[in-house]
């Protein structure tokens, strides 16, 4: 999990830049829209919507934006579809892309173009999926009053497989099947995660030199910047200096 923890740190650093570009709110609004279309606007009856709103709040999305997104989605908002793409970045780095779109042709053309432009190759479904494990990942702001040992035991009792205290945050991972149990445990402990997601964690990673790292990140950044792309997963490992270059 140490490699994944490093990438969570990068995600936080890059998150501020994404927010400035206005990209992150767009992705969150799409997730809210899909959740409403799938399960309705009733928070009590729609766990996916509760999760989407929780993640939106964690990114400091204003309440009026959240309410507007729910209302619009509950009416005649755009009908989004979810789809995934798999392939390789340069130097054998596996890439898994999750998209939400209202135009399939636009999305596949864009994703294929980005893979080609930055030296990658788009594969067929299943070409890299087996390289990733689905895990529940919860990111919680740490406070001084928290006793690490006691909290760790409580979280393990709730289904946590790993608990990492790092850089003022607590990262908790669980099996995909225990995702709901972990949410319940966090509620019992009055802990609100900044993000709570089912992520794809690489079973093995690939290391590259600094020049290669820069090339791979060009593709990953370009994919993340695409409006139809919700999440990008990969099995690239990074040195501390490579991480710092993204700050």
Do 86 and 72 touch, CB atoms closer than 8 A?
no
Closest CA to 2 of 160, 157, 213, 205: 205
What are the pLDDT digits (tens) for 176-187? 999 999 999 999
133-201 belongs to CATH 1.10.1040.10: no
Strand-pairing partners, residue 138, are 172, 196
Same CATH fold, 81-130+203-239 and 2-73?
Answer: no
Enter the CATH code of domain 81-130+203-239.
3.30.70.980
Strand-pairing partners, residue 134, are 200
What are the pLDDT digits (tens) for 188-224? 999 989 889 999 999 999 999 999 999 999 999 999 9
Q: Which class in CATH covers the domain with range 2-73?
A: mainly alpha
Every domain of the chain and the residues it spans:
2-73, 81-130+203-239, 133-201
Instruction: Please list the ranges in the chain whose pLDDT falls under 70.
Output: 1-22, 75-77, 247
pLDDT at 164: 93
pLDDT at 77: 65
């Amino acid at each position: 999990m140490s490699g994944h923890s490093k990438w969570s740190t990068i995600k936080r650093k890059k998150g501020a830049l994404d927010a400035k570009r206005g990209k992150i709110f767009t992705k969150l609004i799409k997730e809210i829209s899909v959740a409403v279309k799938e399960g309705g606007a009733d928070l009590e009856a729609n766990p996916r919507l509760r999760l989407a709103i929780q993640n939106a709040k964690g990114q400091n999305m204003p309440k009026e934006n959240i309410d507007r997104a729910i209302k619009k989605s509950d009416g005649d908002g755009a009908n989004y579809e979810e789809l995934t793409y798999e392939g390789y970045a340069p130097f054998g780095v596996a890439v898994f892309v999750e998209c939400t779109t209202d135009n399939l042709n636009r999305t596949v053309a864009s994703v294929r173009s980005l893979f080609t432009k930055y030296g990658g190759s788009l594969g067929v479904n299943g070409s890299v999926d087996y390289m990733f494990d689905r895990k529940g990942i919860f990111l919680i702001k740490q406070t001084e009053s928290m006793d690490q040992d006691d909290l760790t035991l409580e979280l393990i009792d709730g289904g946590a497989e790993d608990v990492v205290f790092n850089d003022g945050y607590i990262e908790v991972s669980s099996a995909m099947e225990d995702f709901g149990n972990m949410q319940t445990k966090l509620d019992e402990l009055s802990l609100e995660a900044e993000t709570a997601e089912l992520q794809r964690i690489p079973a093995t990673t690939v290391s590259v030199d600094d020049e290669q790292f820069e090339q791979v990140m060009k593709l990953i950044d370009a994919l993340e910047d695409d409006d139809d792309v919700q999440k990008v997963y990969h099995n690239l490992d990074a040195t501390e200096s490579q991480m710092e270059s993204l700050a």
